[in-house]
């Protein structure tokens, strides 16, 4: 694998996503914060500071996930539909390099967007004279990026062998179930049914446990896990992402055009 080619693909992918007006999401996010800053204090006097803290970081997460899934599922499918993949394959670019480069390019876009939205969010809190745990919120933003990198890998994996619509639905399904995977196990135990319990346990083992990378609620209160646990969660996200990308590369390598 040639890293120069990977970075070239990543750079082209980064510019392509930016050209798709993806940064308009930042304008939409700013508008949401302005509206929230005006409306929430009027309807939730006394608790508006906590609500604004939750709302801002929650909006960053939701908008970023939407971009990760909708753009991620089309990264490879778009190349196939436009027939541009047929021009890339004869060149000295391996399919593994294409997938890795596409993933890196979109993840970089998401990193830039999170950094900008987090900056706007913190400025809004400062203007509103709302105290906030800067370090905890920034840490939550970093782990959000790890989560999004994993979700992009999921989207690419589904995108290499299904249609964009089905890949999008499956990716959203993995995202939702990944946040409730631990609850699935408890639900299986409560059912008192061996088959259901086996199914929920299997889903828990196969699906990514995204709650390990979701630090939003803890960050708002300035309460984060200790360093050892944080490193464990980060390693989990990176390894799971790598596994998904390797699986996507293996499937894509067998695909004929």
pLDDT in tens, 44-74: 666 777 888 888 899 999 999 999 998 888 8
- pTM, two decimals, is 0.88
Say how far apart CA 102 and CA 159 lie, in whole Å.
Answer: 12
Measured in whole angstroms, the distance separating CA 195 from the mean position of its chain's CA atoms is 32
Number of domains present in the structure of the chain: 1
- What digits encode the pLDDT tens for the residues 80-99? 666 655 555 555 667 788 88
Say how far apart CA 52 and CA 102 lie, in whole Å.
Answer: 35
Rg (CA), the chain: 20
Report whether 133 contacts 218 (CB < 8 A): no
- What digits encode the pLDDT tens for the residues 23-40? 788 888 889 888 888 887
Cα dist from 24 to 95, 115, 142, 145, 211, whole Å: 31, 15, 22, 19, 28
For 201, the domain range is: 3-254
Query: Following DSSP, what letter does each residue of 108-157 receive, concatenated?
Result: HHHHHHHHHHHHHHHHHHHHTT----HHHHHHHHHHHHHHHHHHHHHHHH
How many CB atoms lie under 10 A from the CB of residue 11? 14
Which residue in the block uniquely carries the two structure tokens 């599922």?
73
Mean per-residue pLDDT, 199-213: 80
In this structure, what DSSP letter does residue 91 have? S
Which residue in the block uniquely carries the two structure tokens 């949401």?
32
């Amino acid at each position: 694998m040639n890293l120069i080619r990977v970075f070239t693909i990543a750079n082209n992918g980064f510019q392509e996503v930016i050209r798709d007006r993806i940064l308009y999401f930042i304008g939409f996010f700013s508008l949401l914060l302005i509206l929230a800053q005006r409306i929430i204090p009027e309807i939730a006097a006394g608790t508006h500071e906590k609500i604004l803290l939750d709302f801002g970081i929650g909006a960053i997460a939701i908008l970023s996930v939407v971009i990760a899934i909708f753009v991620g599922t089309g990264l490879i499918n778009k190349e196939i539909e436009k027939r541009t993949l047929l021009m890339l394959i004869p060149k000295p670019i391996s399919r593994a390099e294409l997938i890795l480069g596409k993933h890196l390019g979109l993840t970089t876009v998401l990193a830039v967007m999170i950094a900008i939205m987090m900056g706007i969010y913190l400025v809004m809190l400062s203007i509103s004279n709302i105290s906030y745990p800067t370090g905890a919120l920034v840490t939550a933003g970093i782990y959000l990026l790890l989560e999004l990198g994993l979700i992009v890998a999921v989207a690419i994996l589904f995108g290499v062998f299904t249609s964009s619509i089905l890949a999008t639905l499956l990716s959203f399904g993995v995202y939702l179930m990944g946040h409730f995977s631990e609850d699935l196990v408890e639900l299986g135990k409560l059912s008192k049914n061996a088959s259901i319990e086996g199914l929920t346990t299997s889903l828990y083992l196969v699906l990514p446990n995204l709650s390990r990378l979701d630090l939003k609620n803890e960050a708002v209160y300035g309460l984060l896990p200790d360093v050892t646990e944080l490193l464990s969660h980060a390693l989990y996200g990176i390894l799971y992402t790598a596994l998904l990308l390797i699986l996507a590369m293996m499937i894509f390598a067998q695909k004929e055009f």
